[in-house]
Amino acid sequence: MAFRFLTALPVYNEAGHVTPVLDEVLRYSSDVLVVDDGSTDGTSELLQRRGDVRLLSHEKNRGYGSALRSAFEYTLAHGFDLLVTIDCDGQHSPRRIPEFVAAAEQADIVSGSRYLKQFAGDTPPPAERRRINEQITDLVNRSLGLHVTDAFCGFKAYRASALARLDITEPGYAMPLQLWVQAAHANMKIIELPVPLIYLEEQRSFGGSLDDANTRLAYYHAVIDRSLAALQPVASGNCCAGAGCGNADG
């Protein structure tokens, strides 16, 4: 099956990476979309000088999830069969794009995993990030009956038919958790592909209070609870039914 596929990169303040990453992505994908999420470090100017990529620009920073939602909407609006997403921080290997496209023949969503297989040259993840990933991945699997090994990897391929069934509203870094809840609820077929584990900037900020591990973990739990609650039927006389009813941010 020949997919007409788009490769999209959410970008925020990546002036140091965006040029070489895009040059490499273009070796494996003829249609490339960059969602510039309100960059202020010169990334926007670098992108505007290129004539070989499609560009969507958010006037202000909206968040990682919002940038991906823009890519989802663009994919559907422009008639692509498949969307590949890849981060722009140099942690993903664009040469694996064809593998994700091929695997999508057998799945609704193909998700990269940094923990499915070890590669020569893998770099150890920051201990705190690995701990949180393990805890949240385990919670996702127990809550949803999934068997994923990396809940947060941004290297993915989505069939357009799957995107049309999603309603992603989470604007931040927890967007993949809302995705897993909705994908499991829709009985989508999910395949994981191993990808190298590369951390180039271990001190990269999540932004504001999310740099605190406990705050970030609580945020992830709250998003899972809200996403599960949103799928529950509303009970007569109650505000909601199921997990997450009440103060989801607490």
User: Residue 215, Cα to own-chain centre: how many angstroms?
Assistant: 20
Give the pairing type, strands 32-37 and 5-11.
parallel
Fill in the amino acid letter for 203: Q
Give the pairing type, strands 156-159 and 5-11.
unpaired
Say if residues 110 and 100 touch (Cβ distance below 8 Å).
yes
**In the predicted model, is pLDDT for residue 241 greater than 70?**
no
Residues counted in the chain:
250
Q: For position 24, which CATH number holds? A: 3.90.550.10
Q: Is residue 235 part of a domain?
A: no
Looking at the structure of the chain, the number of domains it has is: 1
187-240 confidence digits (pLDDT tens)? 999 999 999 988 765 455 666 677 788 899 999 999 999 999 998 764 433 333
Predicted confidence band at 126 (pLDDT cuts at 50, 70, 90)? confident
Q: Is residue 227 part of a domain?
A: no
Nearest CA to 200 among 63, 46, 88? Answer: 88
Q: Is residue 174 part of a domain?
A: yes
158-195 confidence digits (pLDDT tens)? 999 999 999 999 999 999 999 999 999 999 999 999 99
Range of the domain at 102: 5-203
Q: Is residue 249 part of a domain?
A: no
Q: Is residue 232 part of a domain?
A: no
pTM over 0.75: yes
Token output for 124: 């150890």
Q: Is residue 209 part of a domain?
A: no
Q: Is residue 51 part of a domain?
A: yes
What 147-150 contacts at long range (C-beta under 8 Å, 24+ apart), as own/partner pairs, is: 148/111, 148/113, 148/180, 148/190, 148/192, 149/113, 149/115, 149/116, 149/192, 150/111, 150/112, 150/113, 150/114, 150/115, 150/116, 150/192
**In this structure, what DSSP letter does residue 147 have?**
-
Say if residues 200 and 89 touch (Cβ distance below 8 Å).
yes
- Is 234 in a helix, a strand, or coil? coil
Q: Is residue 233 part of a domain?
A: no
Say if residues 99 and 29 touch (Cβ distance below 8 Å).
no
18-29 confidence digits (pLDDT tens)? 999 999 999 999
